[in-house]
A and B are shown apart, each in its own frame.
Chain A
Amino acid sequence: MIDFQIGDELELVRNTALNYADDHLRPALRENESARTPGRAAEEAFAEIGFATLEWPELDAESGLGAVARYLVLEELAAADPGAALALDPLGPALYPLMELGGPDAVRDFGEPLLSSMGSRGLLIWNGAGAPRCLERKGNSWSGVVPWVPADRADLVVVLDEEGASVVQQGIELERLRGSGLRTAGASELTLHSAPIAAEWSGADGARRALARARLYVAALLVGVMRESSDYSRRYAMDRVAFGKPIAHHQALAFLIADMAIAVDSARILGLEAAWRLDTGRPGEEASATAFLEAAEQATFVTPNGVQILGGHGFMQDHPVEKFMREGRTLGLFFGGVDGAREDAARGMKAFPEEPLLPLGAA
């Protein structure tokens, strides 16, 4: 029966992430952005907690917690710094093709080595529909240029398309870029020079599931970013006085702030639903595409308005809202962006399904 309680265990995980963000990320947002890394201390603390392996097939007590746990952690981290969230997670969404297509062996062979060396990064490149297919397969290798990846280092590149996934570890070149958002994760143009394929797996179903998890990963980051943009600007609006009262008490802003809260919760609740579906073995492709779309669209509403509420001050880098605006936009560009997601979200659109309530995918 319908229950929104996330339970004590997940509540603990969420709080741990929140405290971690307060201790290690929030105090140095701008420094980390310029340094293009959250720094060694943050990395070590992150590894210590065991966040990286939350969703891994059971390795130890912290792993095997599932998609809802991952969602909650990412939201909390991104509410401070989504770039750091990406930088700190050695595999990030590159885990999912390994997990869904390669299985525990692949996670062990290609994932585990990244855990032992601080600052390692695995990258997921979606080379399928919705994105320009940047990479070309020649024989047993990949070549091509990916215009932007949020990283300054790549120990592993996982290439995913509709048919399956493959892994490369050599022939990878990164050329630094300034980047738009997510600068704490770094920013580079990635070139593969006949990069030899170390392993590959095929399977359309697994590929779809991997993409679904990857989209949900980004959706959680988007929700964190817009939640903080919304909260930060809301608090500011209660303090800032214009025309004799707090600007939040002018109805134009009061209503905008209410609408931003609705936007954040709409995106958030669709993401949690998708994560719950994945965790309970229900089909989740359509739901996660839906969650990603909603998050990406709502972020483009919320985060620019976060700047607007602060007026000229919002435009200046003394406040984080301009950062959230850049990040709210760039996160929505991953994995084929919104148009790629629209295709998957609209799949199965048909009238008068047999089951009650099915048209919205709640069954």
Chain B
Amino acid sequence: MDLAIDEGTLERLKGIRALGASQIRPLGIEADRLGRPTPPEHPFFEGLVRAGQGRTRWRGEGSGTQSEERAGSIGSSRSTLCLAEEMSYWDRGVAVSFPGPGLGEPPLISMGTEDQKRRFLGPFVHPDRARWGSFAMTEPGAGSDVAGIRASARKEGNTWILNGAKSFAANASRSDWIVVWATVDSSLGREGHRAFVVEKGTPGLGDFQVERKMGLKAYESTSFSLVDCRVPAENLIGGEEHYARRAGFKGAMRSFNATRPLVAVMAVGIGRAALDAGVEFAEKSDLLGDIRIRDRLERTRRKLRSARLLCWRAAWLADHGRPNILEASMAKAAAPTAALEAASLGMEILGVVGGRGDHLIEKLYRDVKAMDIVEGTGQVQRLIMARQLVQLPRD
């Protein structure tokens, strides 16, 4: 057993810390104040790309089988978790706004053909400018109940015709492409699901609505529609054979399974930021000696600490190709609650200062709530756990 963070990761953490204090957090606060996502042409993004950010994890041509093997661990290697937590500590909204293929990457790597990886991830190997990818599963009528998506895909010759509406997809309007999930037959449930890469500018893809959110304003959560949107057959992720093997839904779930600990640890980052700000305020206001306050700070720190360890464990299992469904959901169920508690306690420590709406903790309190909703709500995590623990039937 070893829970130490290696030197290399510690060095990179210091780098994030410096960038976090100087740019990430100020940018998040600015977006929050202005009530709009950071625009794609913002020089911050170009700077990131020049510094080597915004790249794909795909290792380039010929690495197909290898990366397929590694697909389970994408975004969840333990050092990735440390870095993601630190990024989130400075601003989760800004972290999601970072250029890169985003949540569209895992399905492409785990299910995509070599040609698709080359076409869609290739430009992210050494990006010439800030580029984004996006992932759209959620619809106005189907979120947790993923099987209930209604966006339809119908094949005509060598083309798929997509119709439907998608909600809340991160970075969608600025993306080069969006991984869109649709169904060929909604009566088939998950087995009818297909994932398509819908490229920017495809006729019928439009009506982008950047949603107004309570928090995490630095990145766009965008709803859009598909109206007779014609997508070439080559953009069906994995090709028809993939779905013939009925692996469609599993493909999506496999990526979820790898990203849950990652999203959970981001909640830990937000919670830690709130805890630090709460302790700092308590110190300045001479409240740290107050037993009531100190006890609750201790509890909050403890909950964050165990949540982080649960995240690390789930990622470690994935890294070793071991099943982590239960552990990933556990981490994802525990971390957002701990983080919300940290932010809420922070508000109490601020007292009426929290009511002004201009303190970092107040922003974190709004930001953090999303973490119990995205990548499966807390309730959905418990359902997944119960399937493992007590064989809860799916329906």
Contacts A2-B4, A249-B390, A346-B295 given: A294-B302 contact, CB under 8 Å? yes
Tell whether, in the assembled complex, residue A276 and residue B1 are in contact, meaning their CB atoms are under 8 Å apart. Answer: yes
Residues of chain A contacted by B226 (CB below 8 angstroms): none
- Give Cα A265 to B310, complex, Å: 8
A360 to chain B, nearest CB (A): 4
- Give Cα A1 to B312, complex, Å: 11
- Give Cα A363 to B4, complex, Å: 7
Residue of B nearest to A345 (CB): B298
B133 to chain A, nearest CB (A): 28
Tell whether, in the assembled complex, residue A266 and residue B334 are in contact, meaning their CB atoms are under 8 Å apart. Answer: yes
Other-chain residue from B1, B5, B310 in contact with A362 (beta carbon distance below 8 A): B5
Tell whether, in the assembled complex, residue A2 and residue B383 are in contact, meaning their CB atoms are under 8 Å apart. Answer: no
Tell whether, in the assembled complex, residue B283 and residue A357 are in contact, meaning their CB atoms are under 8 Å apart. Answer: no
Other-chain residue from A2, A276, A359 in contact with B301 (beta carbon distance below 8 A): A359
Which residues between 248 and 262 of chain A lie within 8 Å of chain B, taking CB atoms? 248-249, 254-255, 257-259, 261-262
Tell whether, in the assembled complex, residue B283 and residue A237 are in contact, meaning their CB atoms are under 8 Å apart. Answer: no
Tell whether, in the assembled complex, residue A258 and residue B333 are in contact, meaning their CB atoms are under 8 Å apart. Answer: yes
Residues of chain B contacted by A349 (CB below 8 angstroms): 279, 288, 294, 297-298, 301
Tell whether, in the assembled complex, residue B334 and residue A2 are in contact, meaning their CB atoms are under 8 Å apart. Answer: no
- Give Cα A254 to B379, complex, Å: 10
Tell whether, in the assembled complex, residue B309 and residue A269 are in contact, meaning their CB atoms are under 8 Å apart. Answer: yes
Contacts A257-B390, A258-B385, A262-B334 given: A7-B280 contact, CB under 8 Å? no
Contacts A257-B390, A360-B301 given: A350-B279 contact, CB under 8 Å? yes
Contacts A234-B390, A359-B301 given: A351-B279 contact, CB under 8 Å? yes
Which residues between 199 and 218 of chain B lie within 8 Å of chain A, taking CB atoms? none
- Give Cα A296 to B316, complex, Å: 27
> Looking at B2, B14, B82, B383, which has the most chain A CB atoms within 10 Å of its CB?
B2
Binary contact track B308-350/A, C-beta < 8 Å → 1, others 0: 1110110011000000001100100110000000000000000
A243 on interface, CB distance cutoff 8 Å:
no
Residues of chain B contacted by A257 (CB below 8 angstroms): 386, 389-390
Tell whether, in the assembled complex, residue B279 and residue A255 are in contact, meaning their CB atoms are under 8 Å apart. Answer: no
B6 on interface, CB distance cutoff 8 Å:
yes
The interface size of chain B toward A, counting residues with CB under 8 Å, comes to 60
Query: Which of B93-101, B269-277, B362-370 participates in binding chain A?
Result: B269-277
A132 on interface, CB distance cutoff 8 Å:
no
- Give Cα A200 to B156, complex, Å: 89
Tell whether, in the assembled complex, residue A261 and residue B301 are in contact, meaning their CB atoms are under 8 Å apart. Answer: no
Tell whether, in the assembled complex, residue B305 and residue A270 are in contact, meaning their CB atoms are under 8 Å apart. Answer: yes
- Give Cα A273 to B2, complex, Å: 9
Chain A interface, DSSP helix/strand/loop, else mixed? helix
- Give Cα A112 to B221, complex, Å: 67
- Give Cα A257 to B317, complex, Å: 22
A129 to chain B, nearest CB (A): 13
- Give Cα A327 to B212, complex, Å: 51
- Give Cα A347 to B304, complex, Å: 16
B70 on interface, CB distance cutoff 8 Å:
no
Tell whether, in the assembled complex, residue A273 and residue B309 are in contact, meaning their CB atoms are under 8 Å apart. Answer: yes
B75 to chain A, nearest CB (A): 16
Residues of chain A contacted by B5 (CB below 8 angstroms): 1-2, 357, 362-363
Contacts A2-B4, A269-B313, A276-B1 given: A360-B308 contact, CB under 8 Å? yes
Other-chain residue from A5, A255, A258, A345 in contact with B1 (beta carbon distance below 8 A): A5
Contacts A266-B310, A357-B82 given: A7-B385 contact, CB under 8 Å? no
Residues of chain A contacted by B142 (CB below 8 angstroms): none
B105 on interface, CB distance cutoff 8 Å:
no
Tell whether, in the assembled complex, residue B275 and residue A359 are in contact, meaning their CB atoms are under 8 Å apart. Answer: yes
B76 to chain A, nearest CB (A): 12
A293 on interface, CB distance cutoff 8 Å:
yes
Tell whether, in the assembled complex, residue A3 and residue B316 are in contact, meaning their CB atoms are under 8 Å apart. Answer: yes
Other-chain residue from A1, A346, A359 in contact with B78 (beta carbon distance below 8 A): A1
Residues of chain B contacted by A255 (CB below 8 angstroms): 379, 382, 386
B393 on interface, CB distance cutoff 8 Å:
yes
Residues of chain B contacted by A290 (CB below 8 angstroms): 298, 301-302, 305
Contacts A352-B276, A356-B86 given: A342-B301 contact, CB under 8 Å? no
Contacts A294-B306, A351-B276, A363-B5 given: A254-B386 contact, CB under 8 Å? yes
A sample of 22 inter-chain contacts (CB < 8 A) reads A1-B9, A1-B78, A4-B313, A4-B317, A238-B391, A255-B379, A258-B381, A261-B389, A262-B334, A273-B305, A280-B4, A293-B298, A294-B302, A342-B294, A350-B279, A351-B279, A351-B283, A352-B280, A357-B5, A359-B301, A360-B304, A361-B305
A interface residue numbers (CB < 8 A to B): 1-7, 68, 234, 237-238, 246, 248-249, 254-255, 257-259, 261-262, 265-267, 269-270, 272-273, 276, 280, 290, 293-294, 342, 345-346, 349-352, 355-357, 359-363
The 9 closest A-B pairs by CB, nearest first: A351-B280, A248-B390, A254-B386, A346-B298, A266-B306, A258-B385, A356-B13, A258-B382, A351-B279
6 more A-B residue pairs beyond the given contacts A267-B306, A346-B297, A362-B3, with a C-beta to C-beta distance below 8 A: A4-B1, A257-B390, A262-B330, A262-B333, A265-B327, A266-B334
